[in-house]
Amino acid sequence: MDDSIIINNDDDNDTTDRSDEIVTDMISLIHSTTHSSYVTCSQLSSKLISYLSQIRFNDNQWNDLEKAVERFDQSDDHPDLRRFRQLIETISTCSNDCEERNYTLGRDANALFESICQLQELLQSHVNLNCTLLSKVIQQKDIRLLLADLMNLTGMNVGHQIHGILCNIVHLLCQIDQMFSISNVIDHPIVSNCIRIIQTSINNICENTKSTVISALRLLTDLLLTNEPFPVHSYGQLSNCVFLKSIFDLIENNGEDDELVLTLIKFILSLNLRFDYPHENPIMLTLVAVNEQISCRELIERLILLFNRSVDPIECKTMNSVIKFFKDLFGDGGTTSDALLFDSDRRLIVEIISRELADRSITDERTTEYLFLLELIFRSRSITSETCTRIDDLQTSFRAHLYAENCLKENRLIINEILRQHNWLTTNDMPFYL
């Protein structure tokens, strides 16, 4: 056989392999960006290749194309900016017409539904891509007035489904522009409307109402995590025992629905961050007050599971919201923990703390939160030398901290306080009061 034929075949194979690799990369890039089906991505790749094959480029022109993409993305006349404005203008018109008809939507129902669905899709795509293009438009005064009309619709008779989409739209807007939640949403009646939506759905949770409740809860959670003050009226509604009882009811009655329950727990944890004193914390007070009506076992077991996995579902930057909840639970002298926890719950929490102390570095600032919670548990006298199953492990951790030169000062003080109050945890070789 001619050697040249063999060489040509090898070249052809290399070319084919390289082409397959390029096309696969193109399709993967399109898919990772658009999350479209691979069939759609493949067809788009084919059209792009067909278009590019008709154009002859040199190396410099490829660089110019990249700059052209940047100019397109930064254009004040970007198609998404125009589309965004058109959609919220349509929604604003529907909102004002609805208000004139005594809060009944009438003939604008189809136009409103189509517009808010398209707006939700547009905003979701920008959030998925971490795109801030719309943030500069959201900050404009005329746009914020139009968005206020959009939020007003949550208080009108437009139906549960539309209420849910509207809440999700505002949730997405807050993700694109965090200042929007502080400057435009937290003082708006949409907060009270979200609370009403949740309360009126408690006895009628189905697929339609569930998505609406989840959207309302996510928006309230967004606002709570801004750490900005709420209007007195809204804050009173959020901390009202009737509203909180409805939240606990939803958690206990929907234990098999992970999405709904986790969203409810995120809301409770974010609200709980607002209260500094356990004795005055309406969440703790409500839990004790409704204990005979609602067991709250679903809530407690879910929180212990999160604690065991070292997961903070709201990813609070200043403190672990799950630990904060348990600190408040034990922080009133044992009243709340005695009402809600079994002895097995307390032992399990101590076991988790013991493991965390053993696994974490002595200089890890998170250990302070675990030690403080442990001190509260021991102070409540709910764990004794007879019921503690991790005495040896705790003693080993205490000894390691007290002997370490780089032990955090606060940790040393907490450990010494625990040993002073509970001498059954001390050992002869422990450097007490160092």
Contacts 24+ apart (CB under 8 A), 44-52: 49/23
Q: What is the pLDDT of residue 237?
A: 96
8 A C-beta contact, residue 222 and residue 174: yes
DSSP 320: -
Q: Which residues of the chain have pLDDT under 70?
A: 1-15, 59-63, 65-66, 99-108, 431-434
pLDDT at 277: 92
Residues 6+ apart with CB under 8 A from 418: 371, 374, 375, 378, 398, 425
The structural domains of the chain, with segments of one domain joined by +, span 16-73, 342-433
Round to whole Å and give the CA distance between 69 and 60.
15
Give dist(CA 247, CA 265) in Å, integer: 9
Q: Is 208 exposed, middle or buried (0-12, 13-18, 19+ CB in 10 A)?
A: middle
pLDDT score for 11: 56
SS3 per residue for 335-400: HHHHHHCCHHHHHHHHHHHHHHHHHCCCCCCHHHHHHHHHHHHHHCCCCCCCCCCCHHHHHHHHHH
Per-residue pLDDT reduced to its tens digit, 406-433: 999 999 999 999 998 888 888 877 765 5
Q: Tell me the residue type at 24.
A: T
Instruction: Write the CA distances from 223 to 80, 184, 327, integer angstroms.
Output: 26, 11, 23
The H-or-E segment that residue 22 falls in is helix 3-34
pLDDT at 249: 92
pLDDT of residue 434: 46
| Sequence-separated (6 or more) residues with CB below 8 Å from residue 398 | 415, 418, 419, 425, 430
Which residues is 104 bridged to in the sheet?
157
C-alpha angle 194/198/203, rounded to 5°?
A: 160
Three-state DSSP at 97 gives helix
pLDDT of residue 103: 46
- Count the residues in the chain: 434
**CB 170 within 8 Å of CB 218:** no
- Which of 277, 433, 307 minimizes the C-alpha distance to 369? 307
SS3 211: helix
pLDDT per residue as tens digits for the range 343-377: 899 999 999 999 999 999 999 989 999 999 999 99
Q: Which residues pair with 157 in a beta bridge?
A: 104
Q: What is the pLDDT of residue 72?
A: 78
Can you tell me the distance from the alpha carbon of 283 to that of 239, in angstroms, rounded to the nearest whole number? 7
DSSP 3-state percent helix, strand, coil across the chain (nearest 5) = 75, 0, 25
The per-residue pLDDT for 162 is 93
